[in-house]
Amino acid sequence: MNLNTSDFIICSVCQHQNPTSAPACEKCGTPLRSSTTVAVADDMALSPVEPSPFSPQPGVFTIYVPGFGQPLKLAIKEEILLGRYQDGLPPPDVDLNPFYGYLSGVSRRHAKIKVSGSEVTLQDLGSSNGTWVNESKLLPHQSQSLKSGDIIRLGQLLMFVYFQSVELSEQTLLMRDTRGGLNMGLTPNLFSDGLLNLLNSIQEIEACISVVQDQPSPSMQIKAVSFDKERALIQAKLVGAYNAIEFSRKEISKRREALSGKLQGIQVSPEETLPPQAMVDLSGLADIDQVVTELASIMLEQFGANNLEEEKKKAFFEKIEPLIKLILTSPFEIIIE
C-alpha cells in the first residue's frame, strides 16, 4: 500500500515521495489514491460535536457532516451506498471525497444504508477502517439499526443522519380511456398509447415540485397495474409521487371536467362529475394554454415556491406547462372518487 504522512505519500512501487495532493506517482505514474484506502487509527478522540440544526423530513435522508455547512439530502430508497468515487467504477450514492473521505480512511464501498418497510439499518461492507454507529463498532458486513439523529463514523469521518418517515405511502390512481378503448380490457398497445405518457408526466411533475422545494426527488414506482372490467377503469398503484397525484386529482381533473362541461353546455359544480359519455377532446380548445398557465401558477403557490427568482420561475413554467397540458388533454382521464 502507499504510505501516507502529513507531508507526503510514498509510492508502493518506486518508493518516491509525492505531495499529498498528487493523484498518481510523479515518478512512475502509479495511482496513489484510487487503488487503496488510507489506514487510520481505530479509535478516535471525540471532541464535543453539536447536533445538526436540520429537522428531519418525510421521505428524505439528511446527512450532516459537522463543519461542512449545508447537509446532503437524498430521497429515501431501498439502498444507499456510502463511499468514495473512483474513475471506472459505479459511483456511490453518497461520495465522501468532498468531505476529506480519502484522508479520513473511507473506503470506496464503505457502508450501506438499507431500508426495509419501516426499518432502517447501516451495514459495513468489509471496509478497511471500520464503521461505527454511536461509537459502537460494527463487525465486517454486520448491520445495525439506525434511528434519526444517530452518529455514523466511517473510519475517522463523523456524520449525523436524520429522517422522519421511511415508508412512502402507496396511492391508487384510477384512470378511464375516454375513447372507449378499454371495453375489451387493457392491452399493451393501450398501455403504451397515452397511458405511459400520463404516468411519466406525473413522475416529472413530482420531480419539478421537489426542485422548487429544494428537496430530493423520490423515484416514482409502479407497484401494480390492474383492470376493473366492471367499471372499465385502470387501477395503478404508485409510490413516490404523492404531490403530483394529489394535484392532478384536485386541480387538473376538476378543471378538465369544467372545461368538458362548458364545451357541451353543461354546468358542473365542484361536487359533481360528468358522466363518462360526456367527455370530449380538449386538445383543440382555444384557451387551453391559458388554462395550463393558470394551473401552473396554482401549483407554484400551493407548494410554497411563489417567491422564486424570476429566472427560476420562468424555467419552472417552461418545464411544468407541457406536463400539465398532457394530463389535461390525455385520452386517459384521472377519476376522482
Residues 57 and 164 sit within 8 Å (Cβ to Cβ): yes
Residues 224 and 236 sit within 8 Å (Cβ to Cβ): yes
Provide the pLDDT for residue 300: 87
Residues 40 and 182 sit within 8 Å (Cβ to Cβ): no
Alpha-carbon distance of 16 to 27, in angstroms, equals 7
Alpha-carbon distance of 210 to 217, in angstroms, equals 5
Residues 243 and 303 sit within 8 Å (Cβ to Cβ): yes
Helix (H, G, I), strand (E, B) or coil at 2: coil
Alpha-carbon distance of 252 to 328, in angstroms, equals 6
Residues 6+ apart with CB under 8 A from 239: 168, 169, 170, 171, 220, 221, 223
Residues 6+ apart with CB under 8 A from 192: none
Tell me, rounded to whole angstroms, the distance of Cα 127 from its chain centroid. 27
Helix (DSSP H) and strand (DSSP E) numbers for the chain: 6, 18
Residue type, 297: S
Residues 254 and 336 sit within 8 Å (Cβ to Cβ): yes
pLDDT in tens, the chain (337 residues): 444 434 566 665 566 777 767 766 777 666 665 445 656 656 665 554 555 566 666 678 889 998 888 888 888 888 899 999 888 888 899 999 889 888 889 999 999 999 887 789 999 999 999 999 998 999 999 999 999 889 999 999 999 999 876 566 678 999 988 877 656 667 777 777 778 899 999 999 988 888 877 777 777 888 888 888 888 888 999 887 888 998 999 899 988 888 877 766 555 455 555 454 445 666 667 788 899 999 999 998 888 666 778 888 888 999 999 999 999 988 888 987 7
What is the number of other CB atoms lying within 10 angstroms of the CB of residue 45? 6
Provide the pLDDT for residue 159: 94
Q: Return the closest-CA partner of residue 251 out of 213, 192, 292.
A: 292
Say what the pTM is. 0.58
Alpha-carbon distance of 186 to 56, in angstroms, equals 41
**Cα-atom radius of gyration of the chain, to the nearest Å?**
26
- Strand spans (E) along the chain: 3-4, 9-10, 17-18, 60-64, 72-75, 79-83, 94-95, 109-116, 119-124, 131-133, 136-137, 143-145, 150-154, 157-162, 170-177, 221-228, 233-239, 332-334
